[in-house]
Amino acid sequence: MSGPGREPLRIGVLGAARITENSLIGPARTTGHRIVAVAARDRSRAEAYAAAHRVERVADSYADLIADPEVQVVYNPLANGLHGPWNLAALAAGKHVLSEKPSASNAEEAAEVREAAAKSGRVFMEAFHYLFHPVTRRLHELLASGELGELRHVETLVAIQAPADTDPRWSLDLAGGAVMDLGCYSLHAQRMLAPWAGGAPQLVKARAGERAGAPGVDEWLDADLAFPSGATGSARCHMAYDKLEMSCRIIGSRGEAFAPNFVLPQLDDRIVIRTTDGERTERLGRRSSYTYQLEAFAARLREGAPLPLGPDDAVATMTLIDEAYRAAGFEARPRVPILS
């Protein structure tokens, strides 16, 4: 919480995305930070959004919001293809940036964002919020403690029911597809196990299916991974599944741990642990992963506290995404050529 001597962050929001209510507005209220401005392509939509969510004011355009001297942090939840261009613009304007994942359309653009962050001296973070929740921290503790033994295999599945055909997540021009929207979580969670697997995983092979009526856009993708230690991984995503599933199963030489919803643990905070000593279920709390994330981001800006995520991590994740696309017979997502 903000308190004496702890000024609230002053955050500007690009777009009137539905996700922002859960990913930022609610957490900001909980932790005492200010949403000082919002901008949308349609000003009337931004005005309605500001009124509904008690945003302090409306900017005439994305560019105006970024130029606003009162905006300290830019939150970017725009369509995937607009992450890179507006992240670059915000960093060039001297703003700190919290960007929805993925940080860019492809690895080349992600590298440009990394360079811009280094040049600006500002904090840039990709919003892999799940990493800050006690569910994921506990999964890592189970490996670090040795209770599960040596890592042998990890399975991640992130799947949802299909969005409408008109949803921008099905647009190749806006860097859509299942891997961009969902598979980035599945792949990222596996990358985060590198400390217990001798290093980062490498792609072995990938298979994918194209969305009917959306050439070049993946409806699902399965990736097989191999870690330097000999452990293996299966990272799957599906954007037209029969239900919501966001699970992670970690299998070690002495046991396994299963999190039914590691991406949104506020919906299901369980970890089921099975070892030779028996089975138990731990509950890690329904507090929002987005709230933990905003607290960590604020601590970095206020106190210089370390973050587990940064521009290097964003480039590594995008590189793996691009590799998975190409291995499955797809192209890496195209860049949006101009700000729009």
Q: Which residues are catalytic?
A: 101
Cα of first residue to Cα of last residue in the chain, in angstroms, is 36
Contact 118, 311 (CB under 8 A): yes
Backbone angles phi, psi at 27, to 5 degrees: -60, -35
Listed residue (325, 106, 142, 305) closest to 235, CA to CA: 325
Q: Count other Cβ atoms within 10 Å, centred on residue 41.
A: 12
- Residue 326, CB half-sphere, CA atoms under 13 Å: how many? 12
- Neighbouring CB atoms inside 10 A of 150's CB total 14
Query: Taking the CA atoms of the chain, what radius of gyration do you get in angstroms?
Result: 20
CB 30 within 8 A of CB 91: no
Give me 97's structure tokens: 């940036």
- Strand intervals (E) in the chain: 10-14, 34-39, 73-76, 96-99, 124-126, 151-159, 202-210, 218-226, 232-238, 245-252, 255-259, 270-275, 278-283
Name residue 76's beta-bridge partners: 99
CA distance 325 to 11: 34
Produce one character per residue of 69-89: b if its CB has 16 or more CB atoms within 10 Å, e if not.
eebbbbbbbbbbbbbbbbbbb
Beta-carbon contacts of residue 339 (< 8 Å; ≥ 6 apart) = 62, 63, 85, 86, 89
> DSSP 3-state assignment of 208?
strand
